[in-house]
Amino acid sequence: MQVFRSPAEVPADFGPSVVTIGKFDGVHAGHRAVLQRLVTLSEERGLLSAVVTFDRNPLSLLRPEVCPDALLSNDQKLEMLAESGIAATLMAAFDRPFSELSPESFVSTVLVDALHASAVLAGSDFRFGARNSGDITLLRELGATRGIEVVVIDDLARDGGRRVSSTWVRELLAEGRVAEAATLLGRLPSIRSIVVHGEQRGRTLGYPTANLSPQIEGYIPADGVYAAWLVVDGTKYPAAVSIGNNPTFEGVPDKQVEAHAIDASLDLYDRVVEIEFVEYVRGMRKFSGADALAEQMASDETRVRGVLGVPPKQHP
């Protein structure tokens, strides 16, 4: 997949293309359905498939006080877009000049001059241009004058009729409901970061953990203990993952993420790892001491083994 960081970076001979536009935060099942249709249409017409997205949520510039945390880092988003099979992504810098492009200028600069769009896929509620002044009707009108077909796509809905959205995914993760979030994402929710040195309390209790740096990519679920997969260089290890400040001990940072790899002894310091969340096990709580915590950790591991289908621990 080719990646462009501005319309000016797109080669002059790029296209013609079929394009879709959006934040693509989470690249959830709804997004994946759009991307699949984009790729299919491009193949049917012998065109390139292209996504236009942004390097940040537009709200971070326009209304930062209500801007939600991102579900994915830019690198994660680009990786998932590449996995969909599209040919190119234009990840535009959503700065003040870009935000002030009129709908007409957006169509000319991005769709016509840069991507040489032959067709655009958009939802019925699509908005674009300065102050969201452009809608699907205006896009049709502008497209008609520039030889661009507008294909309206339906939202993906789940049981109950609610539209699959990044907002819904975020709500579920904020409540620790990672298994439900996975059904909306079409994949396991995940985070990644580099492993750093911790206080090694887990090791003294018999449950050594990989402590993730606070600079974490992805949306961290609610505090608690989870059954998860610890992914290292593409290899998955079953793991019990703790998120929170571990109130049994003092001085533990908020949202500390620790992963205990089950039946594996791994040297992970300074390595980038990914955690894929499978199921919520229990909430974070304070124990009377280290022995009580160790007993609970043993119970947690048993539960995690059951969730992930890992055989019971073999005692010598």
Q: What is the CATH number of the domain that holds 17?
A: 3.40.50.620
Q: What integer pLDDT is reported at residue 298 of this predicted model?
A: 83
Residue 164 lies in a domain: no
- Work out whether strand 48-54 and strand 88-92 pair parallel, antiparallel, or are unpaired: parallel
Q: What integer pLDDT is reported at residue 154 of this predicted model?
A: 84
Residue 316 lies in a domain: no
Same domain, yes or no: 122 and 38: yes
- 257-277 pLDDT per residue, tens: 999 999 888 889 999 999 999
Same domain, yes or no: 253 and 301: yes
Q: What integer pLDDT is reported at residue 285 of this predicted model?
A: 77
Which structural domain range is residue 7 located in?
A: 2-153
| Residue 207: CATH number of its domain | 2.40.30.30
What is the mean predicted confidence (pLDDT) over 203-220? 82
Residue 129 and residue 54: Cα distance in Å, rounded? 13
CA triple 265-228-185, angle to 5 deg: 145
Residue 61 lies in a domain: yes
Asked if pLDDT for residue 162 goes beyond 90, the answer is no
Residue 96 lies in a domain: yes
Same domain, yes or no: 182 and 142: no
Residue 300 lies in a domain: yes
Residue 220 and residue 251: Cα distance in Å, rounded? 20
Question: Which residue, 153, 186, 201, sits at the end of a domain?
Answer: 153
Question: Which residue, 153, 168, 199, sits at the end of a domain?
Answer: 153
Same domain, yes or no: 149 and 210: no
Global pTM reads 0.90
Same domain, yes or no: 291 and 204: yes
Residue 103 lies in a domain: yes
Largest CA distance in the chain: 77
Give the mean pLDDT of the chain: 91
Residue 277 lies in a domain: yes
DSSP string for 172-205: HHHTT-HHHHHHHHTS--EEEEEEE----HHHHT
Total count of residues recorded for the chain: 316
Same domain, yes or no: 75 and 213: no
Residue 235 lies in a domain: yes
- 95-141 pLDDT per residue, tens: 999 999 999 999 999 999 999 999 999 988 899 999 999 999 999 99
Same domain, yes or no: 236 and 182: yes
Q: What integer pLDDT is reported at residue 93 of this predicted model?
A: 95
Same domain, yes or no: 132 and 202: no
Quick one: tokens of 30?
Answer: 């709804």
Same domain, yes or no: 206 and 251: yes
Same domain, yes or no: 112 and 44: yes
* Domain count within the chain: 2
Same domain, yes or no: 80 and 189: no
Do the Cβ atoms of 10 and 4 come closer than 8 Å? yes
Same domain, yes or no: 220 and 109: no
